[in-house]
Amino acid sequence: MSDPSLAMAFSAAAGELGMSAASWLFLRTLAAVEAGAEEAAIESLGAQFPVMAAVGAAWREGHRGPRCDLEGVRARLDGVTRAVVLGVESAHLDALVAASPGLELGLVTESPLEADFERILANFGGRVAAVSLAELQRWSGATSALVTFLYGVDSHATQVSPIWLRAVGDDTRTQFRTLLGWNVLPAPMPVYPRWLVEVALDAFTDVVP
């Protein structure tokens, strides 16, 4: 498979499933069709998509699915009645929706990649509402939370979707009780986090490592 077309294929999946979920999907699919095919994808895509590089490293260590500490998230959202998610990671979102029937959920409909948010949201059967950046504050409150996905956590920093920076400023930070970062990678990324931005861990009130 040529690099440009494989990268386009990965972008199509990552835009709506999330970088981590798309990486696992690609590796599992390729390995199932032809043993060893996933290695070529890790090499080819890993150079362009750091999340794939990190997932590829985990794959080589024997992991076969994303890191998903749902209990950790539920504990940190105790007392929260509604949460707005920034960024897409389908496996984690599916788990959160299934495990939190009483939680009102919104998803910010912005992405650095092309994404059909109508389709993304249709997967949740009406449980997750579309939230534009302009109306983010409508969801604010003393029992509201902002949630985003972290791509690797070290002692002081992490990587997040740039949408987090677009949405969370000095005003919104004090209008949400909880600013939760949910790590989806088993290890920090080995290369510069293209597509993502690095932020200090103390930008969050809670981190699920």
Dihedral angle over CA of 204, 12, 114, 180, nearest 10 = -10
CA-CA-CA-CA torsion sign (151, 144, 163, 29): positive
Please pick, from the candidates 144, 148, 161, 183, the single residue that binds other proteins as defined by CB under 8 A: 144
Give, rounded to a whole angstrom, the gap between the first and last alpha carbons of the chain. Answer: 35
- Work out how close the CB of 135 gets to other proteins at its nearest, in angstroms, rounded to a whole number: 6
**With binding defined as CB under 8 A, does residue 62 bind other proteins?**
no
Q: Kindly write down the DSSP assignment for every residue of 19-39, as one continuous string.
A: HHHHHHHHHHHHHHHSTTHHH
Q: Considering only residues 96, 199, 207, 208, which one is a binding residue for other proteins as defined by CB under 8 A?
A: 199
9 binds other proteins (CB under 8 A): yes
The owner of tokens 């000095």 is 170
Judged by CB under 8 A, the stretch of 54-62, 64-72, 105-113, 188-196 that binds other proteins is 188-196
For other proteins, which residue of 75, 99, 122, 130 counts as binding (CB under 8 A)? 122
Q: Give the type of residue at 148.
A: T
- Binding-site size, other proteins (CB under 8 A): 63
**How many Cβ atoms from other residues are within 10 Å of residue 14's Cβ?**
28
**Does residue 95 touch other proteins according to CB under 8 A?**
no
* Binding status of residue 71 toward other proteins by CB under 8 A: no
Q: What is the CA radius of gyration of the chain?
A: 17
Distance CA 164, CA 171 (A): 14
Q: Binding to other proteins by residue 61, rule CB under 8 A?
A: no
Identify which of residues 46 and 58 has a Cβ nearer to other proteins in the complex: 46
Distance CA 140, CA 142 (A): 7
Beta-ladder partners of 176: 141
161 binds other proteins (CB under 8 A): no
Stretch that binds other proteins, among 61-69, 105-113, 138-146 (CB under 8 A): 138-146
Task: Compute the distance between CA of residue 198 and CA of residue 29 in angstroms, rounded to an integer.
Answer: 30
**Which residues are at the interface with other proteins (CB under 8 A)?**
1-6, 8-9, 11-13, 16-17, 21-22, 25-26, 28-30, 32-34, 37, 78-81, 90, 94, 114, 116, 119, 122-125, 135, 137-138, 140-144, 156-157, 170-171, 173-175, 177-178, 190-192, 198-200, 202-203, 205
